[in-house]
A and B are shown apart, each in its own frame.
Chain A
Amino acid sequence: MKKEEELINEVLEGQNDSFEPLLRPYRQGILNMAYRMTGNIEEAKEICQDATIKVFKYLGSFNRERSFKNWLYKTVVNCSYDFLKKKSRYNALIAEQKKSFFDDSYNPEKNYSNMEIKEKIQNCLRVLSPKEKAVFLLRDAEGFSINEASQILGSSSNSIRTHLSRARQKLRKEFVRYSNPEKGGMFS
């Protein structure tokens, strides 16, 4: 299997066939990132295509000293922001996502407790701001470190920590509200 560096060189030399193997290891990750940012799989695929176009177009200007994976995710996150802005969805996002967020056709054989977790996480993602959502997903879904997330989103580590903390607080609220709305706590 060829190394990432070799594949980048080949694409830059004009071998377009090397572009697909270059992206292949991250294809699931970028799709899920875009999917959880928008809540719609078709929109996520559209975002991935936009990001792929940009990556191919600007591969020549990519700084080789940095991580290609981080750069790719950065492009996907930026395309997701653009997509949300373009559709003027910042304000209408919550209302629209109540209908469209995470279609239920996926994995229908899951048990009830899994359904509960799904509901809580979905509700949480609905109320997060785009930045909080991006930080939360990069750290807790994709497993990036705080430093990597700060590189991807172009923010300081402290800013990333602040957004991550807020996102987790909202997630806990959602868990508490869902589990025991009268007592106000799932563990009480």
Chain B
Amino acid sequence: MKCRKVTRFIPLFAGSDFPAETIAKVRHHLQDCRSCQQEYTEYQSILQQTREWLTQERKDWEEAEWKKTVHAAIEKANEKRSWLAPWPFKRGWAFVLMTASAILLSLLVLHPSLVKDKMRGIATVSADPFQTEIVSMQLVSKETGLKINWFFHKDLKLEVIE
């Protein structure tokens, strides 16, 4: 095995993370090659220092904080499980709103005539000029000169018959 190849393996070999089947070859090379052996020793020393430091310098929870975190997590997880909070809404009222909108929308699509009729009725009443502007009307015959006065109540609906 050549130095170039062994150098690639050394970082893993130094941390005992090398596949067993190749260990013998690398070990054999290290016995003969001084520079590779030096690099191997360097890696071993660095890894040992690093592992020691990472083991010593460990953060920990304060007891109360840890328990609070776990309980808060349980509460949040349960909140998300609730049937009142279906995706993508967080609250039940949003679900109700969504259902009402869906019903209204489906009515519009399935029975458009129902809505149109109602709209037309509203338009007729409000657009009727007689109901609001004309209270009385006089008809004069050209031939006889007869005058007929028609009085309309304000709220009376006038139907035009052709």
Question: Is B83 at the interface (CB under 8 A from chain A)?
Answer: no
In the complex, the answer to whether A118 meets B60 with C-beta atoms within 8 Å is: no
Interface residues of A, CB < 8 Å — how many? 40
Contact assessment for A171 and B15 in the assembled complex, using a CB-CB cutoff below 8 Å? no
Interface residue stretch chosen among B36-44, B96-104, B127-135: B36-44
Interface Cβ pair total, 8 Å cutoff:
95
With beta carbons under 8 angstroms apart, the residue of B53, B57, B73 that contacts A49 is: B73
Residue ID in chain A nearest B70 by CB atoms? A20
Q: Which of A51-59, A61-69, A92-100 contacts B (4 or more CB under 8 A)?
A: A51-59
The interface-forming segment of B61-69, B107-115, B138-146, B151-159 is B61-69
Q: Is the interface of A mostly helix, strand, loop or mixed?
A: helix
Q: Which of B17, B42, B53, B74 contacts A164 (CB 8 A)?
A: B17
B19 to nearest A CB, angstroms? 8
Contact (Cβ within 8 A) B12 A114: no
Q: Which chain B residues border A140 with CB–CB below 8 Å?
A: 15, 47, 50-51, 54
Contact A56 B46 (CB under 8 A): no
Does B55 sit within 8 A of A, measured CB to CB?
Answer: yes
Return A1 CB to nearest CB of chain B, in Å: 18
Cβ-defined contact, A168 with B15, below 8 A: yes
Q: B120 at interface (Cβ–Cβ under 8 A)? A: no
A128 within 8 A of B: no
Contact present for B50 and A121 (CB under 8 Å): yes
Contact assessment for B77 and A186 in the assembled complex, using a CB-CB cutoff below 8 Å: no
State the A residues within 8 Å of B (CB).
16, 19-20, 23, 27-28, 31-32, 35-36, 41, 44-45, 48-49, 52-53, 56-57, 106-107, 114, 117-118, 121, 137, 139-141, 146, 161, 164-165, 168-169, 171-172, 175, 186-187
B contact residues vs A (CB 8 Å cutoff): 8, 11-12, 14-15, 17, 38, 41-43, 45-47, 49-51, 53-55, 57-61, 65-67, 69-74, 76-77, 80-81
